[in-house]
Structure 1
Amino acid sequence: MATFEGRPVTADDVLPLALTNLGHFTSMRVDADRTIRGLTLHMERLARDCRAVWGAELDTARVRDLVRAALEGHVTPCVVRVTVHDPGAEVGRRPGGERPGVLVTVRGAGGLPASPLRVRSVMYERDLPHVKHVGLFGALHARRTAQLAGGDDALFTGRDGLVSEGATWNAGFVDHDGTVVWPRAPVLPGVTMALLQRHAPGAAHRTVPLTLDRAKGMAAAFATNTAIGVRPLGAIDGTDFPAGHPVLSALRETYLSIPGETV
């Protein structure tokens, strides 16, 4: 079931979103105990992106109320998505006076840990990469390009040749000295990535520019987002990586041990 502003959604609520593709969102995994890791960070993202996209302040306490109501009766674990958009938006309308509302949708969650991804590199740069916006055409087209080339998903590289992120996930790597390496590039500041950087004791982290060749020379690689946690990359363009690297195991255990927050 989907709700908009706390009531069952109608076609009029979502048709403008489909036609204008203007809005932003966050997705959150709700665990079996009905808590969410990084809930505060997700609310901060929604508030920050609402200012960036709409120039408006978002009442995150109300968003939490709407999420709590939408989760009633749903089996957990699940993934809840909060999308902020204006049903009155039109392609030809000048900006100003927007009244964004909150769309909440819930779907089932896959099991953890997820199987390794074999990815293909695709040159693509997201618009406003710091915003988790609903403009997914380019990213999903890149994913389709990677899949048609035999991969499971796409790993983006920029026009400068540097690795950035995946279609719907942040990319991380493990150097041969055990250091966790994050690409220095315009990427979405992911919640799961932030949690790992804050909570992984004993693991050194650094953020550096990564060429594709340097990335392929790492000891291990992984993807992170709220739905998959820490997911190994089994290969990049045919260069294989071990799925069972001990640093990946430690990161996964660290992530799963982070206490969730009650909605």
Structure 2
Amino acid sequence: MADVLMQIDGQPASAADLGHFALSNYGAFTSMQVEDGGVRGLDLHLARLDDEAVELFGVPVPEATLRERMRQALDGRSGRFSLRVNLFSDAVSLRAPEAVVEPRVLTTLSPLASPLTTPLRLQSQAYAREVAHLKHAATFGLTRARRQAVLAGFDDALFVDAEGRISEGSIWNIGFVQGEAVIWPEAPMLAGTGQALLQRGMADLGLDSETRPVRLSDLAAFDAAFICNSATPACAVAAIDGHPFGPAEPLISRLIDAWRSNPCQAI
């Protein structure tokens, strides 16, 4: 197949179709990894799309329609792919924002995203995503934050809100390890599908989990840290600013096992 295949409402995306999408970032999406026609946590992605459609457009896209659009994107292909599903509408614009309408569905099928494996050096930045609970298409702030981190010699940016609480990273959630427990930060952020899959599988592997506020001043209390998203079940954090964390290979293996314990759900 071509490197990237884009469809809108099940049909090849034309330049005219993509015009509004290119000129407006009012919309939202979810990204998933497909394995032979199934997705781990597909129910999470479908629930996210439902919430996004209702909040941004006032009308949900029926689940049957979303599944059909995903199947049309795959077109019977077996193997592993990355699939992104965007919701947008050319009926909603800055000049005419009031339309209540079922959004259109843009699917983008591409080669499987490689998981991160090298421990990350993170730069903390005072930043909070707009409407943080939504995976919306307005990614200017995320790209700028990550660019600033990389130009400063780090791998990525870790966000700290106005109250000093650690929240999330550019495209991932973060977890901290204290003994046999994983501590998830409590702050406005996106509830990640990767994080949810880990939480579903951790209890069976003897790992406890809790959510509470975490600040940069708390880092010395943790044994390790890791990031996770839909493409990376778990990747160790080497350091945050000048605070280093110890090796986390055994923990990362256990977390990946927790993630893999979630079966693929057929599209």
Is this a same-fold pair by TM over 0.5?
yes
Letter in 1 for 2:261: S
Partner residue, 1:123:
126
Size of the aligned set, in residue pairs, is 261
Letter in 2 for 1:251: L
Whether the aligned pair in 1 keeps the contact of 2:219 and 2:243 (CA below 8 Å) is no
Rounded to whole Å, the distance in 2 between the matches of 1:235 and 1:88 is 45
Rounded to whole Å, the distance in 2 between the matches of 1:185 and 1:30 is 30
The one-character-per-residue Cα deviations of 1:125-169 (angstroms, maximum 9, x if unpaired) are 011111111111111111111111111111100111110001111
* Residues 94 and 256 of structure 1: CA distance in aligned 2, closer, same or farther (over 3 Å): closer
1:56 to 48, 55, 59: 59
1:3 to 1, 7, 15: 7
Q: Which runs of 5+ in 2 are unaligned?
A: none
* Residues 60 and 189 of structure 1: CA distance in aligned 2, closer, same or farther (over 3 Å): same
Q: Percent of pairs identical after alignment?
A: 37
Rounded to whole Å, the distance in 2 between the matches of 1:183 and 1:41 is 20
Q: CA RMSD in A?
A: 1.7
How much does 1:191 deviate?
A: 1.1
1:140 to 140, 143, 148: 143
Partner residue, 2:25:
21
Q: Which runs of 5+ in 1 are unaligned?
A: none
Residue 96 of structure 2 is aligned to residue 101 of structure 1 = no
After TM superposition, list the pairs within 5 Å mapping 1:247-258 onto structure 2.
247-258=251-262
- Aligned residue for 1:164, secondary structure, equals strand
Residue 88 of structure 2 is aligned to residue 85 of structure 1 = yes
- Runs of 4 or more, structure 1, over 4 Å off, are none
The one-character-per-residue Cα deviations of 1:95-120 (angstroms, maximum 9, x if unpaired) are 12434100000121244562222211
Rounded to whole Å, the distance in 2 between the matches of 1:111 and 1:141 is 22
2:241 to 234, 237, 250: 237
Whether the aligned pair in 1 keeps the contact of 2:145 and 2:170 (CA below 8 Å) is yes
After TM superposition, list the pairs within 5 Å mapping 1:211-226 onto structure 2.
211-215=215-219, 217-226=221-230
Larger mean Cα displacement after TM superposition, 193-202 or 134-143:
193-202
How much does 1:194 deviate?
A: 1.2
2:183 to 173, 181, 184: 181
How much does 1:195 deviate?
A: 1.6
